[in-house]
């Protein structure tokens, strides 16, 4: 079996865990100690894997670091990797997302706060603002969600570089089919029940928590909303509710199985006003039929009551396995599609983001 790496970004540092030949993941010593790591990416497209980390140095502000030797050493661009042009009168508050493009060998996308999309053409060393989205006529009416006004999810098409989608909290899902020259809101049939009667399906103003796709069926998207779980069969043109069979349709992460495009994972929380796991148990729900039915997967997870949530970027599914991290610093992984789980780490800081890849 292949070697694999797990990257865990936390409120106070980055942890890497390595698996040799399919063996257990061994947690490595902390990196960027006391520094918040809100975004990580594992770019396996080049001659050597490149790790990317969106860090927040507190007084010194946010930046992007990169490593080409699996975290033994890290580098940073000589100038600020991500910065808003002076004309925008905006200041970078946080890097929320780092996503290598599957269709353009050296391109990496970054999502930021205030909500903006940046593009890198040197594998994530330096970035430029995508001005067409920044200048979208809706932007002046976007309002922040609980975590801020952030572009937190980037969904590039696996083969067509002209097509991609982004999610903004709490504006909703936006997509482009012309390489970013223009963008349209794509939230049709997503319900916002807090709105007045007759206005519960707004064009934008949606609190989207996470969006995922599978590369073999890119027209199909899965979306975890503040008020539901949805599927689209036309890259966001129309959305269909698939959360009615879940014990709760509130949660943050959603992930698609790496080889089975009809298999999707969520981790429900009780409600938006009670952000604890349903029944105070960690249970990952898996659907193998595009969201028609769901099965709880909890073998190996704690049987005693638990109370910590799992954030939007703290669950991932890849060929290395399915993994999630909690707000009380525990990380669990499954190498058999969620049937059984084992603990990878414990007593870590608040887990913000998790990524895994086969090397």
The CATH code of the domain that includes 285 is 2.130.10.10
pLDDT value of position 185: 98
Nearest Cα residue to 2 out of 339, 342, 344, 318: 318
Structural domain containing residue 100: 81-346
Residue 351 lies in a domain: no
CA–CA distance, 278 with 276 (Å, rounded to integer): 6
Residue-level pLDDT at 135? 98
Alpha carbon distance 188, 224 (integer Å)? 14
Asked if residue 192 belongs to a domain, the reply is: yes
* Closest-CA residue to 339 (of 263, 274, 277): 263
Residue 14 lies in a domain: no
Write the CB contacts of 273 (distance below 8 Å, at least 6 apart in sequence): none
Number of domains in the chain: 1
d(CA 72, CA 63): 18
**356 lies in some domain:** no
Residue 10 within any structural domain of the chain: no
* Tokens representing residue 254 in the block: 């959603």
Residue for token digits 């193998």?
288
Please give the pLDDT value at position 16.
98
Helical (H) or strand (E) element with 116? strand 116-120
Output the pLDDT for position 46. Answer: 86
C-alpha 282/C-alpha 299 separation (Å) is 10
- pLDDT at position 136 is 98
Is residue 2, in this structure, part of any structural domain at all? no
Contact by Cβ (8 Å): 89, 114: no
pTM of this prediction exceeds 0.85: yes
All residue ranges of the chain with pLDDT < 70 are 1
Please give the pLDDT value at position 1: 66
In this structure, is residue 272 part of a structural domain? yes
Helical segments of 153-269, H only:
none
């Amino acid at each position: 079996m292949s070697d694999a790496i797990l990257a865990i970004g936390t409120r106070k540092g980055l942890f890497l865990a390595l698996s040799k030949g399919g063996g257990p993941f061994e947690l490595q010593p902390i990196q960027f100690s006391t520094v918040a790591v809100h975004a990580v990416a594992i770019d396996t497209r080049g001659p050597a894997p490149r790790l990317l980390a969106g860090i927040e140095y507190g007084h010194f502000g946010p930046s992007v670091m990169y490593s080409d030797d699996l975290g033994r050493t890290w580098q940073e661009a000589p100038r600020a990797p991500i910065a808003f042009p002076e004309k925008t009168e905006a200041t970078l508050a946080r890097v929320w997302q780092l996503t290598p493009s599957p269709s353009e060998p050296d391109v990496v996308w970054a999502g930021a706060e205030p909500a903006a999309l940046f593009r890198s053409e040197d594998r994530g060393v330096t970035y430029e603002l995508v001005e067409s989205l920044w200048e979208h006529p809706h932007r002046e009416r976007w309002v922040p969600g609980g975590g801020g006004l952030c572009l937190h999810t980037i969904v590039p098409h696996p083969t067509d570089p002209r097509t991609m989608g982004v999610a903004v909290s709490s504006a909703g899902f936006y997509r482009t089919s012309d390489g970013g020259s223009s963008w349209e809101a794509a939230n049709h049939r997503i319900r916002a029940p807090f709105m007045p009667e007759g206005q519960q399906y707004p064009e934008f103003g949606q609190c989207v928590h996470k969006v995922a796709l599978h590369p073999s069926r890119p027209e199909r998207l899965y979306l975890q909303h503040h008020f539901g779980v949805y599927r689209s069969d036309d890259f966001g043109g129309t959305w269909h509710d698939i959360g009615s069979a879940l014990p709760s349709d509130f949660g943050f992460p959603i992930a698609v199985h790496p080889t089975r495009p009809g298999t999707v994972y969520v981790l429900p929380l009780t409600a938006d006003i009670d952000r604890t796991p349903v029944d105070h148990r960690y249970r990952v729900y898996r659907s193998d039929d595009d969201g028609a039915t769901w099965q709880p997967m909890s073998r190996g997870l704690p049987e005693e009551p638990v109370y910590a949530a799992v954030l939007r970027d703290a669950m991932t599914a890849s060929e290395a396995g399915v993994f999630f991290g909690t707000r009380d610093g525990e990380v669990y992984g499954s190498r058999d599609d969620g049937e059984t789980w084992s603990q990878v780490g414990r007593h870590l800081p608040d887990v913000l983001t998790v990524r895994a890849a086969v090397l």
